[in-house]
Amino acid sequence: MSDAADDPAVKVEQYALDHCWVVSVTGELDAHSLSPVSEAVELAAASHPVLVLDTGGVTFADSTVLSLLLTLHAVTKLRIAAPSPQIVRLLAITRADEVLSVFSTLEQACEIAA
């Protein structure tokens, strides 16, 4: 099995969009593949007061993803943008969607962040 940091199925990109900092994630996220995502969002949260996490490309998410989202929510102003059906389901089943800030589009999340 390959190291999580070398997992080609997970892609993390970061960029500024208008007045917000975006971390975009694609791929299957679980305990074995989450490391590069965790590192990226933790560094971004330390540098930016509002973090927009674009999860539209997430094709699988388990409880480790939920744990990461809740931890980020506790340390920064987290906005979850364009959640994939898998993220929507995970948040709905756990009722985390009642605690976290979730937006249908990246643009909406950035407008709120400005």
pTM over 0.85: yes
- Structure tokens belonging to residue 66: 């939920």
What pLDDT does 19 receive?
83
User: Which band of pLDDT confidence, cut at 50, 70 and 90, is reported for residue 61?
Assistant: very high
Q: How far apart are CA 33 and CA 5, in angstroms?
A: 7
Q: What domains can you pick out in the chain, each with its CATH number?
A: 13-113 (3.30.750.24)
* Confidence check: pLDDT of 9 > 90: no
Question: What is the rounded CA–CA span in Å between residue 85 and residue 43?
Answer: 26
**Does the pLDDT at position 112 exceed 90?**
no
**What pLDDT is recorded for position 4?**
43
Q: Where are the beta strands (DSSP E) in the chain?
A: 11-17, 20-29, 50-61, 77-81, 101-103
Residue 3 above 90 pLDDT? no
Average pLDDT over residues 67-73: 96
- The arithmetic mean of pLDDT across residues 23-51, rounded, is 94
Is the Cβ–Cβ distance between 12 and 37 less than 8 Å? Answer: yes
